[in-house]
């Protein structure tokens, strides 16, 4: 009874994986949101069905699990792309790049919900910034009180804008420049 829907789900999921691969390699300008929404609608429709046979239920659960794993991977990769970070390499391509690898880049990622009650996290972020900045820069570092005010303002603004409970601050040294980003925590 639901075999055609399950076959469609399997085919659309395969196609969606290909479309996202094309998007992430730069050969497509926009993510395949239309196909992803179609898959999500079909998953929702099928999840409401209670009269699957045992084999259909197993097949459906397998496909849905695969979809959720892919969706999480695509979301993380898209977030990294938007933040300007290099996408994670597959293990096989890591070995190819191992010989030409640059010096390790220090990256610090800290999630903050309320800077006033999480002073330890703010302090860690500030100390990481000073450590990463180190001797690389001749600039006078920002004072700790200024940094606290900045973090509080960013946290409040992002939490209000995206209606999230926390903000993820990422600090990294890339080609002798500090990259400091703040994004809504999607958990």
Contacts of 39 (CB under 8 A, 6+ apart): 9, 12, 13, 16, 67
Domain 102-184 has CATH 3.30.1550: yes
Nearest to 10 by CA among 54, 75, 74, 66: 66
Q: What percent of the chain is modeled with pLDDT above 70? A: 82
**Where do the domains of the chain lie?**
3-92, 102-184
pLDDT confidence band for 18 (50 / 70 / 90): very high
What letters, b where the CB count within 10 A reaches 16 and e where it falls short, cover 23-34? bbeeeeeebbee
Q: For residue 166, give the DSSP letter.
A: -
pTM as predicted: 0.45
Identify the weakest region by mean pLDDT among 24-28, 37-41, 92-96, 135-139.
92-96
First CA to last CA distance, the chain: 36
- Given this model, what pLDDT does residue 98 score? 45
């Amino acid at each position: 009874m639901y075999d055609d829907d399950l076959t469609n789900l399997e085919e659309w999921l395969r196609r969606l994986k290909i479309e996202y691969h094309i998007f992430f390699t730069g050969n497509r300008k926009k993510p395949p949101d239309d196909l992803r929404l179609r898959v999500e609608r079909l998953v929702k429709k099928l999840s409401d069905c209670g009269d699957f046979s045992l084999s259909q239920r197993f097949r459906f659960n397998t496909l849905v699990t695969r979809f959720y794993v892919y969706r999480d991977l695509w979301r993380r990769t898209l977030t990294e792309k938007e933040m300007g970070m290099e996408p994670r390499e597959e293990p096989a391509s890591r070995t190819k790049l191992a010989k030409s690898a640059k010096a390790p880049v220090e990256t610090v990622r800290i999630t903050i919900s309320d800077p006033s009650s999480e002073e330890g996290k703010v302090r860690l972020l500030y100390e990481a910034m000073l450590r990463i900045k180190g001797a690389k820069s001749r600039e006078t570092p920002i004072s700790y009180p200024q940094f606290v005010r900045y973090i509080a303002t960013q946290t409040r603004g992002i939490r209000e804008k995206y209606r999230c409970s926390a903000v993820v601050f990422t600090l990294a040294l890339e080609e002798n420049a500090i990259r400091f980003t703040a994004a809504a925590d999607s958990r």
